[in-house]
A and B are shown apart, each in its own frame.
Chain A
Amino acid sequence: MRNSSSMKSFLIEVGELALFVKRFFKEVFTKPFEFKELIRQCYAIGNRSILLVGVTGFIIGLVITLQTRPTLEEFGAESWMPSMVSLSIIREIGPVIIALTFAGRIASGIGAELGSMRVTEQIDAMEVSGTNPFKFLVVTRIVAATFMLPLLVLFGDAIALFGSYIIENIKGEVSFMLYFNKVFHVLDFSDLIPATIKTFFFGFAIALVGCFKGYNCEKGTVGVGAAANSAVVFSSMLLFIIDFIAVFVTDIFFDL
């Protein structure tokens, strides 16, 4: 009985999310366009995440190289290090890990911000003043996150490769030129493009879930906390689903 009730509420939520997506696509292409707010959100979302993404990317690069090096050394295959690390970072680890940290930062932030605006009637005040709050608050945040995450992932990937180079330089005395020559020798557009395209979907999904949870927040301050929390959980889960689909589709077109 309890299972059927929670399944019912889950399905209702999925249905409401679908309607939310439909409304987003309806509003995003209709005037007035909130360009100023969009630029502000791009700056806020990008700026809020850049340090986190940089640190995360750097640590990913360090850790992967440190963990993998001993195994490759056993086979005398240290020279494969740059190729292996760059492929794994560019194709999968960079986009997914950075998107997960982005989800933790942005989905919860948007969920809490919009949730708080909902329970303190700020969204109602906006509507009463003749502004479309969905367009002003939701559309701008989703578009900003969709375009900012790919840029952040590219930045994070570059930092991760730099982190990897530092370990290689310390442990194997590999020069900067040699390391990055090997990296770019093995990388192809078929590695970079699908991985970058999927980050647009990651960014969209993260902001969508954050906005959906926050915009429909109920039950006062408890609801704000719940909105922020469930935005992170739900968007992280969605990331893995999108990643699976993206890898599956990439495999069809690029024969991984």
Chain B
Amino acid sequence: MNTEQNNSKAIENIETKSVMLEIKDLRKSFGDNAVLNGFNLKLYEGENLVIMGKSGSGKSVMIKCLVGLLQADSGSIKIMDQEINTLNQKDLNILRTEIGFLFQGSALYDSMTVRENLEFPLRRHKSRFQNTSNMDELVTEALESVGLLHAIDLMPAELSGGMKRRIALARTLILKPKIILYDEPTSGLDPITSKEIIALMRSIQKQYKTSSLIITHDVDCARVVSERIILLVDGVNYVEGTYSELSTSTDVQVKAFFK
């Protein structure tokens, strides 16, 4: 059996699993500038789906629409069978606890220590965790999973870029989300730290059995973590496939990404 057949088989296997997130015909404009022009996506349980596209192609807008940070003009976004456009604020906040979001710039709270950064989401959702384990255990577990337990009392300003990204990942994990959204997880990092973050993403996916939607234009990241890749061009799905399918494509636009 050759590689392409293996990949196709892998995609078929994934498609038998339940859909965690589904986007249909998503459209979003800023004034006259149409950023998303009918984008579609399905993320299956336990899948690592990578969205690639050049800057300004609408990747970040799409991911922000997913968590309600931006309101789409039209289209449907279903997360675990809940249409987010019809949810009230309270239900949306409950749903958000099932979704982890790793921001491009880490977005750690500057005025809080690492411990307080990790405790912050826990304190907001005490009712979910009061019967399971105490806060210290959860913070320790999350920091251990990113290998930075020793940084627990440091301030974000004292951390390197890679450490910040890891702590942000730990904060994302602390609510034990079912879906993790990664917005350019390796951008601004040196190649070695990027590899560490990529390895961490894979180990987290194995350990926590999360479904991941990864926005990146880092080909190495896509190669290592992706089970499926969607190429976004001008706000619509241009092509979809596995890494090996897209990297050997003869299409000019696709080749431009993978050369």
Q: Is the CB of A125 within 8 A of B125?
A: no
Pick from B64, B96, B104, B109: contact of A122, CB under 8 Å: B109
Chain A contact surface mostly? helix
Q: Is A117 in contact with chain B by the CB < 8 A criterion?
A: yes
Q: Is the CB of B104 within 8 A of A121?
A: yes
Q: Provide the A154-182 mask, 1 if CB < 8 A to any CB of B, else 0.
A: 00000000000000000000000000000
Q: Is the CB of B107 within 8 A of A130?
A: no
Q: Closest residue to A131 on the B side, CB-wise?
A: B124
- Which residues on the B side are within 8 Å of A128 (C-beta)? 67, 69, 96, 99, 101
CB A141 to nearest CB in B, in angstroms, measures: 12
Q: Is B110 in contact with chain A by the CB < 8 A criterion?
A: yes
Pick from A113, A127, A132: contact of B69, CB under 8 Å: A127
Q: Is the CB of B120 within 8 A of A120?
A: no
**A residues 107-125 in Cβ contact with B at 8 Å:** 113, 116-117, 120-122, 124-125
**A residues 94-144 in Cβ contact with B at 8 Å:** 113, 116-117, 120-122, 124-132
- Which residues on the A side are within 8 Å of B103 (C-beta)? 121, 124-125
- The distance in angstroms between the C-alpha atoms of A131 and B67, with both chains bound, is 13
Q: Closest residue to B125 on the A side, CB-wise?
A: A130
- Which residues on the A side are within 8 Å of B97 (C-beta)? 129-130
**B residues 93-139 in Cβ contact with A at 8 Å:** 93-94, 96-97, 99, 101, 103-105, 107-111, 120-121, 124-125
Q: Is B52 in contact with chain A by the CB < 8 A criterion?
A: no
- The distance in angstroms between the C-alpha atoms of A187 and B98, with both chains bound, is 61
- Size of the A side of the interface (Cβ < 8 Å), in residues, is 15
Q: Is the CB of A116 within 8 A of B110?
A: yes
- The distance in angstroms between the C-alpha atoms of A185 and B158, with both chains bound, is 57
- The distance in angstroms between the C-alpha atoms of A130 and B121, with both chains bound, is 8
- Which residues on the A side are within 8 Å of B107 (C-beta)? 120-122, 124-125
- Which residues on the B side are within 8 Å of A122 (C-beta)? 107-110
- The distance in angstroms between the C-alpha atoms of A130 and B101, with both chains bound, is 11
CB B61 to nearest CB in A, in angstroms, measures: 13
Interface hub of A113, A117, A120, A126 (most chain B Cβ within 10 A):
A120
- Which residues on the A side are within 8 Å of B69 (C-beta)? 124, 127-128
- The distance in angstroms between the C-alpha atoms of A168 and B175, with both chains bound, is 64
- The distance in angstroms between the C-alpha atoms of A181 and B84, with both chains bound, is 68
- The distance in angstroms between the C-alpha atoms of A131 and B125, with both chains bound, is 9
Q: Is the CB of A129 within 8 A of B110?
A: no
CB B72 to nearest CB in A, in angstroms, measures: 16
Which residues from chain B sit less than 8 Å from chain A, CB to CB? 64, 67-69, 89, 93-94, 96-97, 99, 101, 103-105, 107-111, 120-121, 124-125, 175
* Selected A-B contacts with CB under 8 Å, 20 pairs: A113-B111, A117-B109, A121-B103, A121-B105, A121-B107, A122-B109, A122-B110, A124-B69, A124-B103, A125-B101, A125-B103, A127-B68, A129-B96, A129-B120, A130-B93, A130-B121, A131-B93, A131-B121, A131-B124, A132-B93
Which residues from chain A sit less than 8 Å from chain B, CB to CB? 113, 116-117, 120-122, 124-132
Known A117-B110, A124-B107, A132-B93; 11 more pairs at CB < 8 Å = A113-B111, A117-B109, A120-B105, A120-B110, A122-B107, A122-B109, A128-B69, A128-B96, A128-B101, A129-B96, A130-B124
